[in-house]
Structure 1
């Protein structure tokens, strides 16, 4: 049986749901982690080497685990959180554990690009650590953050497709079930084209937003 248009649309909607929800939770996790990594570094406003070392190590551990292994390794936790290990909702859990630490590292990288003069200006004005973060660091790094979040989103699209290998739903599941297992070349081509269009669209949108922010 060949795949039909309704199945493709359903798979696309599932992929969009997976990517958007996992991106939301990943940013909620990764943004504060990345900020905390930066401010606790040596010489920064909340320098705390023991906390930085522990947090840095934990993030490195999660980033070292290939997504397909992480996907399987945390199945018990996924079942505990969403009640199942199969389907779109179940795929969101490992996607967040995969992308959250990655976004944290990207946020840290964006903050490290800021001119030290910005911090000196904040200090000269008597800004508190919170004021320094929200009124100086984040506005200054916003353009770079948009670019890095775009990169993370594209990574999530690829990971969501990989989740299809274990019944995660979405475009990846469609490609495996119909394109690979049933030798349906047309379906494989369609799914690849959809993923390419999604990636190109998100990358273009991210570039446009970053340029507009930089001009301001």
Structure 2
């Protein structure tokens, strides 16, 4: 029998533990991505030529750094950041350790999404705010972020879904989570039941994230 339900039930605690580890990795990395990636994306936008705080040096430097990190495949980034991970969390195994590389991968990804969302804003709205004498910080807080919030939420949904895939990849090198369970049992032990269960769990998780993201974006969209 290729799918053993009693075996699946007996593995319930391990599957639950793997799910919690995956959610921990995603939760930490998404939080870091929002805290750092959001202002970074705003900075990329406002320092561009012809906008409210044009600065070619900052725009070029930040843009190059973001592109540099994004150009590195995640599995290579995961290995390359091992020394930094060990320094920050005191180890290289487990969900907290995997969160370091996940966060660093998510920051530039989300920053570019924020920048792209703000480029969709009608230039006339920004020019009107400048014309009435609004300061840059006020324009960012009262114009840019409110106007781009729907696209930012949609971009955050995309970021979370990408992190689900990355977190599964982190399991290959001992990051824990659903990916680790799939590798240890589904691949190394040829356990079809666990492999199917982990795939189904990831599919359900992604669908739930997408549904919540779409619902939230529609809820806050006042256009």
Instruction: Give the TM-score normalised by the residue count of structure 2.
Output: 0.95
Does residue 1:85 correspond to 2:92, yes or no? yes
Tell me the C-alpha RMSD between the 2 structures: 0.9
1:107-146, aligned counterparts within 5 Å? 107-146=114-153
Query: What residue is the counterpart of 1:45 in the other structure?
Result: 52
Q: Give SS of 2:121's match.
A: coil
Match of 1:27 among 34, 57, 60: 34
TM-score by length of 1: 0.98
Distance in 2 between residues matched to 1:212 and 1:27, nearest whole Å: 20
Post-superposition CA distance 1:114-158 (Å, at most 9, x none)? 000110121122110000000000000000000000000000000
Deviation at 1:215, TM superposition (A): 3.3
Cα distance in 2 for partners of 1:215, 1:77 equals 43
Indicate the residue corresponding to 2:4 in structure 1: none
Structure 2 gaps, min length 5? 1-6
Unpaired segments ≥5 residues, structure 1:
none
What is the aligned residue count? Answer: 215
Aligned counterparts of 2:106 and 2:176: Cα–Cα separation in 1: 18
1:208 aligns to 2:215 (yes or no): yes
1:171 aligns with 2:178: yes
- The 5 A counterparts of 1:63-78 are 63-78=70-85
Cα offsets for 1:18-49 (capped at 9, x unmatched): 10111001111100110000000011100001
- Residue in 2 aligned with 1:182? 189
SS at match of 2:197: helix
